[in-house]
Amino acid sequence: MTRLKEFLESGVNPEDHLDTIAMLASLDYIEKGSKRVAKAIEQELVDQRNSLKLIASENYSSLRVQMTMGNWLTDKYAEGIPFQRYYAGCQNVDDVESYAQELGKKLFNAESCTVQPHSGCDANLAAYLAILSEVIENSKVKDMGKSLMQMTHKEYEVVRQEFTKARILGMSLKDGGHLTHGFRNNFSGKLFDAYSYGVDPITERLNYDEIRAQAKEIQPHILIAGYSSYSRKVDFSIMRSIADEVGAVLLVDMAHFSGLVAGKVFEGVYDPIPYADVVTSTTHKTLRGPRGGIILSKKRFEEGLKRVCPLAQGGPLEHVIAAKAVAFEEALTKDFQNYARRIVDNAETLARHFIDEGVRVITGGTENHLMVLDVFSSYGLTGKEAEERLYRSGIIVNKNALPNDSRGVIQTSGIRIGTPAITTLDMGQNQMLDVANFIVRCLKGEDPAKIRADVQQLKARYPLYKAISLGKLCHTN
């Protein structure tokens, strides 16, 4: 019997379970043509159900978001921007994309929004290129009185060389920044003259005076704020004043914490939108939407950012853009604001439990959705060993270098833990004590099988996509 048939015969009211029915029907249908793919999709649900997802950059998007991605909007080429496309027949994707833009502006209170970036990385690539076009290229264009197309090869080469001399200053990868902020094995460290700031070795926090001094010395074209593994809030009013002092454009990459901005947990000087010239983000981390990127900006950069295509991409993924609109609608609700608040409450509680257990938490705690634990000084384990041991216990985290980590980025001395996903499952303060206990028991060397059983017992009380029952393919688990 198919999954769908089994479900419908269980006596449920179909109207109440359209999401489940749609998902079961698609699995049944995919399986008819592609057994192997259907099995991987189904097995992923089994695995996500059986494990505790503590990866700080992951979440569980709604089934509505997921379904919105799986349809014929993917078949439409829509290079250009809404109502100004290169190909005909874009009336429906124009409608969806302009709606997503409007919602993005409303959600973040931004002057301008583009929803075309395929990912957080692409959003940063497009943002850098658009900013540098504005601040480097446009002045040359004015000086020469010629557009890029009218320049001779030699003239254009002068402009292009200026681009490669562009200086960017962002948080270093090893202290919690992202690869796209100037890491040498990323486009940002290859195309630009990239510099980085770190955290203070004692407090393990940003030292704004230090950043200011560095910025004065380097005179960056773009000052970048934002992080992937830093557990403290950033004061964007100070970053703005530093950018102003050196004449830099301020770009904030809120990939990790955009859900906390949308949910109004980060307000005032901790909300980057009023302070930054350009703000980039993913849509799939705390924001809980489809895998993708967005760029918000002040009016000054609006024109440049309309050109994500051709600057950095070709045709936008309109099926994903439609899902971004659905996710923004969800994020505009009171429920989402409560969710965002609970992510941070849970993280604070979890960090407190670790500290009570004598675990060294970097910076002494957290003010956002994540924390970094020093597992080497606490348990004599490298981050890699801790990650593997936790994985065997059904707990999914990632190893993470600590500031000034002597064990490098492959072994590391730490792990990063985040609460966005387990908060989506509705876990609260009491469950954080369980989660901390599982991790501490595991790192102290208790039998992983025993912990795994306890993890599954907890997870069974917080089911993922509750009504979806699984078919025959994965019943070995």
Answer for the pair 7, 469: CB distance below 8 angstroms, yes or no. yes
- Amino acid at position 474, single letter: C
The phi, psi pair for 379, rounded to 5°, reads: -130, 0
Q: Angle formed by the axes of helices 429-443 and 383-392, to 10°?
A: 110
| Contact set for ligand PLP, span 292-351 (CB under 6 A) | 293
Q: Which is nearer to ligand PLP, 27 or 234 (CB)?
A: 234
Q: Which is nearer to ligand PLP, 3 or 416 (CB)?
A: 416
DSSP reduced 3-state for 455: helix
- Binding flag, residue 255, ligand PLP (CB under 6 A): yes
Residue 444 burial (10 A CB sphere; 0-12, 13-18, 19+): exposed
Answer for the pair 93, 116: CB distance below 8 angstroms, yes or no. no
- Binding flag, residue 61, ligand PLP (CB under 6 A): no
How many residues bind ligand PLP (CB under 6 A)? The answer is 14
Q: Are strands 398-400 and 414-418 parallel, antiparallel or unpaired?
A: antiparallel
Single out the residue of 174, 256, 353, 389 in contact with ligand PLP (rule: CB under 6 A).
Answer: 256
Give the nearest residue (CB) to ligand PLP. Answer: 120
- Cβ 225 to ligand PLP, closest distance in Å? 10
- Binding flag, residue 110, ligand PLP (CB under 6 A): no
Cα–Cα distance between 131 and 248 in angstroms, integer? 10
- Binding flag, residue 178, ligand PLP (CB under 6 A): yes
Cα–Cα distance between 403 and 176 in angstroms, integer? 8
- Cβ 283 to ligand PLP, closest distance in Å? 8
- Cβ 124 to ligand PLP, closest distance in Å? 6
Single out the residue of 4, 27, 31, 57 in contact with ligand PLP (rule: CB under 6 A).
Answer: 57
- Segment 152-159 long-range contacts (CB within 8 Å, at least 24 positions apart): none
Task: Single out the segment in contact with ligand PLP by CB under 6 A; choices: 74-82, 248-256, 313-321, 395-403.
Answer: 248-256
Task: Single out the segment in contact with ligand PLP by CB under 6 A; choices: 25-33, 253-261, 418-426, 448-456.
Answer: 253-261
- Binding flag, residue 282, ligand PLP (CB under 6 A): yes
Q: List the one residue out of 450, 385, 446 whose CA is nearest residue 415.
A: 385
Task: Single out the segment in contact with ligand PLP by CB under 6 A; choices: 10-18, 37-45, 120-128, 399-407.
Answer: 120-128
Range list of β-strands (E), 134-192:
167-171
Q: Which is nearer to ligand PLP, 226 or 289 (CB)?
A: 226
Q: What are the angstrom distances between the C-alpha of 130 and each of 35, 126, 286, 305, 326?
A: 44, 6, 26, 6, 27
How many other CB atoms are there within 10 angstroms of residue 340's CB atom?
26
Q: Which is nearer to ligand PLP, 180 or 398 (CB)?
A: 180
- Binding flag, residue 116, ligand PLP (CB under 6 A): no
Single out the residue of 66, 112, 116, 180 in contact with ligand PLP (rule: CB under 6 A).
Answer: 180
| Contact set for ligand PLP, span 184-243 (CB under 6 A) | 226, 228
- Amino acid at position 189, single letter: G
- Cβ 451 to ligand PLP, closest distance in Å? 29
The full length of the chain comes to 477
- Cβ 281 to ligand PLP, closest distance in Å? 8
DSSP reduced 3-state for 310: helix
Q: Which is nearer to ligand PLP, 226 or 316 (CB)?
A: 226
Task: Single out the segment in contact with ligand PLP by CB under 6 A; choices: 117-125, 133-141, 266-274, 325-333.
Answer: 117-125
- Binding flag, residue 253, ligand PLP (CB under 6 A): yes
- Binding flag, residue 418, ligand PLP (CB under 6 A): no
- Binding flag, residue 119, ligand PLP (CB under 6 A): yes
Angle at the Cα of 427 from the Cα atoms of 421 and 428, rounded to 5 degrees: 120
- Binding flag, residue 52, ligand PLP (CB under 6 A): no
Q: Which is nearer to ligand PLP, 122 or 318 (CB)?
A: 122
Task: Single out the segment in contact with ligand PLP by CB under 6 A; choices: 78-86, 192-200, 250-258, 369-377.
Answer: 250-258
Helix and strand numbers (H, E) in the chain are: 22, 15
Q: Which is nearer to ligand PLP, 90 or 127 (CB)?
A: 127
Q: List the one residue out of 338, 339, 337, 369 whose CA is nearest residue 351.
A: 369
Token code pair at residue 183: 């890491």
Answer for the pair 239, 223: CB distance below 8 angstroms, yes or no. yes
Residue 33 burial (10 A CB sphere; 0-12, 13-18, 19+): exposed
| Contact set for ligand PLP, span 149-168 (CB under 6 A) | none
Interface residue list for ligand PLP (CB under 6 A): 57, 119-121, 124, 178, 180, 226, 228, 253, 255-256, 282, 293
